[in-house]
Structure 1
Amino acid sequence: MKSKFLITGIVSLIFSSLMQAQEKSSNQNWPDRTVLPIEAYQKTGKIEPNIKDSDPIEWPKEISAPEGAPNVLLILIDDVGFGATSTFGGPVPTPNFDALAKNGLQYNRFHTTAVCSPSRASLITGRNHHTAATGIIMEFSTPYPGYNSLVPKSVATIGKILTDNGYGTSWFGKNHNVPDWQSTPAGPFYLWPTGLGFEYFYGFLGADAHQFRPSLIEGTKPIDPYLVDGKVDPDYVLDKDLANHAIKWIQTQKAVSPNKPFFAYYTPGTAHAPHQAPKDWIAKFKGKFDYGFDKQRQMTFEKQKAMGVIPKDAKLAPTPDDYQKWDALSPNMKKVVAREMEVYAAQLAYCDDQIGRIIKSIKDLGELDNTLIIYIMGDNGASAEDPTGQGLTSEIGIMVNGEKDTEEFMLKNLDEFGGPWFQEHYSQSWAHAMNTPYQWDKKIASHLGGTRTGMIISWPKRIKQTGQIRSQYAHITDIVPTILEAANIPSPNSVDGFKQTPMAGKSLVYSFDNATAPETHNTQYYEIIANRGIYKDGWLANTTPRNLPWQGHPIPSEDPMKDYKWELYDLKKDFSQVDNVAAKNPEKLKELQKAFLDEGRKYNVFPLDDRYIDRVNPENRPNLNKGRTSYVYHEGNSRITEGMAPNMKNTSFSITADIVVKAGDEGMIITQGGYFAGLALMLQKGKPTFAYAFSHYPQSKWSIQSPTALTAGKHNITVNFDYAGGGAGKAAKVTLLVDGKEAAKGDILKTVPSRFSADETLDVGEDFGTPVNRSYEVPFTFKGEIEKVTVNLK
């Protein structure tokens, strides 16, 4: 018996020793920040059936950020060129951007991918955009690995990395990184911000948003903050709302967990079209741009030199002949085009003002000293997506659907510029002026006008050489590595069991204390819509654009690999990419062309594709509706994005609604799109009405209405939309039936050929955003009961 107890005791002792050794080893290795997520660590002891015989146990130790890790405010502004802001010599006053430059470092050789979704994918992952499967914007994705818009599990975001390392994380504003077919309230949500590791999201999923009536998401839930007690708030502005939510979130983080650092990704969507701003801010810029864009470009260039933002020997890149010239405009059009720039300046200045409120709130909390602020002024160069040269009053109507503005209409409606009833976008030549001193614009990845934007980094606790310029090459993939090094967090090798693709970017921390430190990001390829280039050790080889920035339907080349000419620039001597030295350095050009091929194969850049809007057809992507001709909806089925809605363009269709009403009931039955292009079946004062809008022009809106209001009871309303055929955007005949009998009919002279909206959706029983026409106001909630609505495509 004694021997039995002895053996048991020895075994117990050995087991206890092994457990203690394992515990010590676990404690020494914890936390392993290269493998995420990190399991909580708990020191164990003797545990017996009776608590009085058990050792006291410490609470599990949960992961926290490394000691001294900074808060991070990452700001990304949309469609702002290098030469737009006062900070970089431009005409738009951005005092908060200025202040950060004074108290931080100003980077004058920072680069993006040249278009939004790809830049944003690179920014939050630290990888090249094709590695993140985002070689083009989400709506234009194709099945190839670099272009399918399904960010791989091997490419974890900064939100996921920081959340798993003990940060509080958030995302405010624009997303444009959810695949087109996954952006409805039905999900799936694994590629939405909260699915990518960000704990809180308040913003919008698409390319742009209406400043006064945006389609927003909180977490994964659609919300409409511009509606108060069911009515449109006339004082609502998106930029202010986003700032309010960011401030509240930051304050809550520090109120509850003062020692826990926060990460806030703030990306408002300004100054992407539509250009809209509060009236009082627009008034501040009245008459400020009457001299025109050609003079502005020269003025900005001179100021940039005087400020030292660009070298003294830098040259002003010539404006290509394709751009509109100021002196070619009529006196009336000069008034219109000047007004466009006033609105753009107002929107950008107002946005910077709201960002100032966020920074002040951090300062008021006593957190500014240890907050790393990275303020990127532009996810690409300024946008020249204006095919007319005189600007647009509707980006969807003119740029996408082919409507044409007239001088008379624009001049007559000058006061509407910047307001809710215009989707304004400025002249292509204002965009080029905002990209001073470089050539070309957004979408043109081959040239600095498309890729180089302004950036400021501020971190008072760490950066002491403030107010200085840094000219080392920097790329948008460098931001995640910079944040991780600042926080003393390694790039993970494994996340959720998936081996991680190494980051392409390089940390910029090395440049904080040394203006002349050798740059560490020595090679970088560029490619968007087959425009391409390769930077290597100070040289830039790039293609000559075949298609202009404002061409939505360019003629694709037969072979994008062979049909593009190449240029070569020595950027060590030629800051602005002006002097093409390809003819003098053929061997260097060949070397860089080979380097592009190598990088292209490595990062999933191929195959090249120079189609643009022609890729937008939802049939080109995974679609639960493929082959489907009948759709049944019920009340409350709303926020269905265009890619997942029935495609009621360029085809005949019918809408049949079974409803129950009281006499005089009114409201929306079903709608898609809005004021700038859309359709709606509704009751107005009890009368069945079908409304259609080709654009915001009065002559492009039609309404077919029954002369008789419905009686109380159950009714069946049918719209037969008979498309003329013969191509896209042709006419149609509409017949409205009530309980099987013809009630009204009419002609639609022009129909929407390409897109109803970038941000408005299909909604049943209510209308969000803008109304199809101004005979009613949103949300125009249906007063009766909708049993079902059936859409049949013919």
Structure 2
Amino acid sequence: MVMKRQTSLGLLLGSTLLWGSLAQHVHAAEPSQATQGWPQSPQAPRGAPNIVVILIDDVGFGATNVFGGPISTPDFARLADAGLRYDNFHVNALCSPSRASLLTGYNDRQVGFGNIEEAASKHPGYNTVLPANVTPVAEVLKEHGYNTAAFGKWHNTPYWQISAAGPFDLWPTGRWGFEHFYGFLAAADNQYYPRLYRDQTPVEPSSTPEQGYYFTTDITNEAVRWLHQHDAVAHDKPFFLYYATGATHEPHHVPKAWIAKYKGKFDQGWDVIRQQSFERQKALGVIPANAELTPRPSTLPAWDSLSPDEKKLLAHQAEVYAAFAEETDHEVGRLLETLREEGIADNTLVLEVFGDNGGSAEGGFLGKDAKTAEGGTPDVRTRLADSDALGSELYLNHYAAAWAWALTSPFQGTKQDAAHLGGTTDPLVISWPARIHDTHGIRGQFGHLNDIAPTLYEAAGITPPSHTAGVEQLPIEGRSLLYTFDHPDAPSRHKVQYFTTSGNLGIYSDGWWAGQLAQETWEVGDNRVYLTRGTQRQTHPWELYRLSDDYSQAHDLAAKYPEKLKELQALFQHEASRNHADPLRPGVDAYPLGTATGQTVFTYRSGVDRVGPRFAPDLGHDPYTLSADVDVPAGGAQGVIFAEGGRYGGVTLYVSKGRLVYEANANGVRTGQIVTSAPLAAGRRHIVVTVTPEQERTAGKSDAAAEMIRRWVGGKPVLATVGLSVDGAPARQARFSNIALSSRETLDIGRDLGSAVSPAYTVPAAFTGRIDTVTLTTAQSSGQ
């Protein structure tokens, strides 16, 4: 027994020594694990503020009452009363470029966003691919201990990556640095049927328009929920919340109750509204006392030149837009009230930019609402009779171009005009109760969206990285605005800034501005100049302004100071070259996927949905065949087998009351329908739809820009013969009056997501049988 005990004790001691030796070896090999303990997460600097950045879409400088305009924005006013108003703050005249600068601290083309994401080209300044030598602000803040989240409109992911296949590295939750995202990824979406994503997953709206669904309310609810969750589990950790509304971009969608508040408020017309705004701006001090009101361009009509019916229709358009803006402000107020309820408002830095570019004149001379199936616009009297529906899901409505000009008081120019301040100036309000003591203050230093990132870094006590993943980072372009908090009269630190959009040019240099206008937005047919390719048009001369004396660009000094103009022209060329701005109008290059690679056969199976237009075949003008193999249960089936598009344009194959239907609509008007004579019998069925246009597409119309315009707004009507057969039986045929369809939504198999292509069913109208495959075969015409 003693021997056994000694043996057991010896084994125990031996084991102890062995484990001790191993432990010493491990500790010696990995001393950091022995001393560090639990891995440490990044810690924000002590006292770093929470950060909320708010960006509203398509608003002129003189729209809100906070900056003298006719639109009531009480929550914007409350924020301004607690902080500072900036009346010399600048944007990039187009949405994706503006957002790229805001979210990085760089110039737009330095980060690949010289155009909107849908209009990318192969050139480095326009390819919409975030370069490795740039680290976005959300990523920097996250790496320094911040939680990050983005809500609303996101317009900075390459268009060809927005699919279930990704890649996802350039989505908000990828290299852009946000840990959470909820919203849509596009130039525009409507308030009632948005195509939503949660992080990287497609999701559908939580309710229908009939049940009160509204996108801006939805993203506010999601942002408030995120704030509550953060407060519950990470109260002491600072956060960066980016809230970017789809409002007030067209379509101008807003509930009727908001519109009623503005009845009659715009009956005076745009000339009087602009003059009244200018007088209020002077009284508020948001423009200098010596500022002058610039005149209406000769290419825009005087209000008094309109007919009585035109005045009624166009005044109502402005009422709808004003309601849209005020409702948006209300939702921002709900978000900011959450900060106060949680007791964190005092140390929360809030920056609200009320517009990512000037007011949008893309509505043309008489605005937009209803269109016919033939693509034309009804006469004004017909439009006026139906105008009570403006703001609803029935129309993709937009106000007349002159309203954009009126709401940009006192400046020249609108959205897309980089040559004038009306396209490149918007209100900025900064609030930070713990730090800003000169409340109600106004600041006049020159600022730009690329100044926001360095402002956030300085406020948080953070130095952006000089290297990321081993890549040396570009120097930040912007300048922090923190110096303006305590020094209202300090000279501007942002000395030089170039601007260029749609071929329109501008350059700022220490109080001087030179610019050249290629065209006003309303001077072109489709109002989408940023999609076109070409050399710079010289239809307007260069202009020169001394902004230090001439706030609104009222006096062109080009003839008086030709040498100064040459100096600024040379500076523009230098900045354009340095920032990869050439060519100024590169047009659109189709990324090599799908139809751009020559693919003509597309096969889909059950469960495939939310296929975006860039990935789906173009069914707008060429011959195609759609075949579907389905299994119909005993008793028959109901629902959608295939749908592309929605209520604003699309095609759908569905079963209703037992019969098979193929249908098309353009602009919400049915352009053709074909129905089988007998119910779809139970069992396996082979369905074939053939679409044969009665005329070929003309040569040159298949370029990427033309296709994009057609998919957004439709095209000239294309007549077609459509055949529908089941199991090889003789096909029923019908003549469709138009297949040149706008497909703003997605391609879906087995249901119709978003809005319904046909009023005969209610979305999603899921097919009650089984779908094996749906195959689309396109035949490219000789015009391609």
TM-score, normalized by length of structure 2?
0.90
Contact in 1 for aligned 2:594/2:617 (Cα 8 Å): no
> Are the equivalent residues in 2 in contact too, given 1:403–1:695 (CA < 8 A)?
no
Q: CA deviation at 1:55?
A: 7.2
Q: 1:278: which partner in 2?
A: 255
Q: Distance in 2 between matches of 1:239 and 1:61?
A: 38
Counterparts of 1:638 and 1:55, CA distance in 2:
51
For 1:751 and 1:512, how far apart are their aligned partners in 2?
58
**Amino acid in structure 2 at the alignment position of 1:357:** R
Q: 1:561 to 1:485 in 2, by over 3 A?
A: farther
Q: 1:131 and 1:45 mapped to 2: Cα distance?
A: 52
Distance in 2 (alpha carbons) for counterparts of 1:688 and 1:130: 51
Per the alignment, in what secondary structure is the counterpart of residue 131 of structure 1? Answer: helix
8 A Cα contact 1:567 1:580, kept in partner: yes
Superposition RMSD on alpha carbons, in Å? 2.3
Aligned mates of 2:487, 2:111 — CA distance in 1: 32
SS for the counterpart of 1:368 is coil
Asked if the contact 1:393/1:405 (under 8 Å) is kept, the reply is no
In structure 2, the partner of 1:589 is 565
1:19 alignment partner in structure 2? none
1:265 and 1:579 mapped to 2: Cα distance? Answer: 38
Secondary structure at 2:346's aligned position in 1?
A: helix
> Closer, same or farther in 2 for the Cα pair 1:558/1:684, shift >3 Å?
closer
Q: Structure 2 vs 1, CA of residues 567 and 610 (structure 1 numbering), >3 Å: closer, same or farther?
A: farther
Alignment of 1:740-751 (within 5 A): 740-751=728-739
Superposed displacement of residue 640, structure 1:
1.0
| 2:601 pairs with one of 603, 626, 630 | 630
**1:719-754 CA-partner distances (Å, limit 9, x unpaired):** 11101215364221111112122343222223326x
Q: Percent identity?
A: 40
Asked whether 1:756 is paired with 2:729, we answer: no
1:716-727 residue pairs with structure 2 within 5 A? Answer: 716-723=686-693, 724-727=695-698
User: Residues 344-383 of structure 1 correspond to what in structure 2 (within 5 A)?
Assistant: 344-383=321-360
SS at match of 1:146: helix
Q: Does 1:65 align with 2:44?
A: yes
Distance in 2 of aligned mates of 1:354 and 1:557: 39
Q: Partner amino acid for 1:140?
A: A
Cα deviation per residue 1:341-365 (whole Å; 9 max; x = unaligned)?
Answer: 1111111111111111111111111
Matched, 1:647 2:618: yes
Aligned: 1:167 with 2:146: yes
Change (3 A) 1:708 1:328: farther
- The reply to whether residue 445 of structure 1 matches residue 394 of structure 2 is no
Q: Which residue of 439, 446, 450 corresponds with 1:473? A: 446
Contact 2:375–2:667 (8 Å) recurs in 1: no
State the secondary structure of the residue aligned to 2:571. helix
Deviations 1:344-392 (A, max 9, x none): 11111111111111111111111000000000000000101023x2211
CA–CA separation in structure 2 for the residues paired with 1:565 and 1:557: 21
- In the TM superposition, residue 113 of structure 1 has moved relative to its aligned partner by 0.5
How far off is 1:650 after superposition? Answer: 2.0
SS in structure 1 of the partner of residue 274 of structure 2: helix
Work out which of the residue numbers 632, 655, 658 in structure 2 matches 1:661: 632
- Structure 1 counterpart of 2:762, from 777, 781, 787: 777
Contact 1:530 1:610 in 2 (8 A): no
Q: What residue in structure 2 maps to residue 571 of structure 1?
A: 547
Structure 2 CA distance, aligned partners of 1:702 and 1:285? Answer: 39
CA–CA separation in structure 1 for the residues paired with 2:723 and 2:612? 26
Shift of 1:564: 5.2
- Pick closer, same or farther for the CA change 1:131–1:791 going to 2, 3 Å: same
Tell me if structure 2 keeps the 8 A contact 1:717–1:739: yes
Q: Hey, what does 2:103 align to over in structure 1?
A: 124
Matched, 1:333 2:313: no
What residue identity is the alignment partner of 1:317?
A: T
Selected match of 1:482 from 455, 461, 464: 455
Any idea what SS the aligned residue of 1:642 has? Answer: coil
Say which SS state the counterpart of residue 482 (structure 1) adopts.
helix
Matched, 1:269 2:246: yes
Structure 1 residue 226 displacement after superposition: 3.6
- Note if contact 1:707-1:743 (Cα within 8 Å) is conserved in structure 2: no
What's the offset of the Cα at 1:512? Answer: 0.7
Task: Give the Cα–Cα distance (whole angstroms) in 1 for the partners of residues 109 and 35 of structure 2.
Answer: 53
Aligned AA (1:460) = P
8 A Cα contact 1:732 1:747, kept in partner: yes
Q: How does 1:89-168 map to 2 (within 5 A)?
A: 89-168=68-147
User: Residues 331-730 of structure 1 correspond to what in structure 2 (within 5 A)?
Assistant: 331-387=308-364, 389-393=365-369, 403-549=376-522, 551=524, 552=526, 559-560=535-536, 565-609=541-585, 615=588, 620-625=590-595, 626-662=597-633, 663-696=635-668, 698=669, 701-723=671-693, 724-727=695-698, 729=716, 730=718
Describe the superposition over 1:157-193 as per-residue Cα deviations: whole angstroms up to 9, x where unpaired: 1111111111000000000111111111221111110
1:538/1:714 CA distance change after superposition, 3 Å = same
1:373 alignment partner, SS class = strand
Task: Confirm or deny: 8 A CA contact 2:671 2:737 kept in the other structure.
Answer: no
Of 281, 285, 289, 1:304 maps to 281
Question: Within 2, Cα distance between the matches of 1:646 and 1:91?
Answer: 45
Q: Which residue of 2 aligns with 1:10?
A: none
Q: 1:208 aligned to 2:180?
A: no
Matches within 5 A, 1:185-204: 185-195=164-174, 196-204=176-184
Q: Distance in 1 between matches of 2:571 and 2:360?
A: 29
SS of the residue corresponding to residue 595 of structure 1 reads helix
Counterpart CA distance in 2 for 1:789 and 1:683 is 15
8 A Cα contact 1:401 1:752, kept in partner:
no
Separation in 2, partners of 1:378, 1:548: 17
The amino acid of 2:734's aligned partner reads G
1:529 Cα deviation from its structure 2 partner: 1.4
Task: Please say if residues 182 and 197 of structure 2, whose CA atoms lie closer than 8 Å, have aligned partners that are also in contact.
Answer: yes
Task: Tell me the SS of whatever aligns to 1:369.
Answer: coil
Q: 1:556 to 1:767 in 2, by over 3 A?
A: closer
Mapping 1:281-296, distance limit 5 Å: 281-296=258-273
How many residue pairs get aligned? The number is 731
Q: Matches of 1:716 and 1:283 in 2, distance apart? A: 52
Distance in 2 of aligned mates of 1:81 and 1:561: 26
Letter in 2 for 1:787: D
Change (3 A) 1:152 1:87: same
Match in the other structure for 2:197: 217
Give the Cα–Cα distance (whole angstroms) in 1 for the partners of residues 656 and 622 of structure 2: 27
CA distance in 2, matches of 1:775, 1:393: 23
Q: Which residue of 2 aligns with 1:34?
A: none
Residue 33 (structure 1) aligns with: none
CA deviation digits over 1:422-460, x for unaligned, max 9? Answer: 111111111111111111210111111111000100000
Whether 2:771 is the aligned partner of 1:786: answer yes
Contact 2:183 2:196 in 1 (8 A): yes
Partner of 1:16: none
Kindly indicate whether the alpha-carbon contact (under 8 Å) linking 1:442 and 1:549 is maintained by their aligned counterparts in 2: no
Structure 1 residue aligned with 2:12: none
- Structure 2 CA distance for aligned equivalents of residues 316 and 386 of structure 1: 23
User: Which residue does the alignment assign to 2:724?
Assistant: 736
Deviations 1:530-553 (A, max 9, x none): 111100010000002335346336
Q: Match of 2:722, as an amino acid?
A: V
Q: TM-score w.r.t. structure 1 length?
A: 0.89
Secondary structure of the 2:609 match is coil
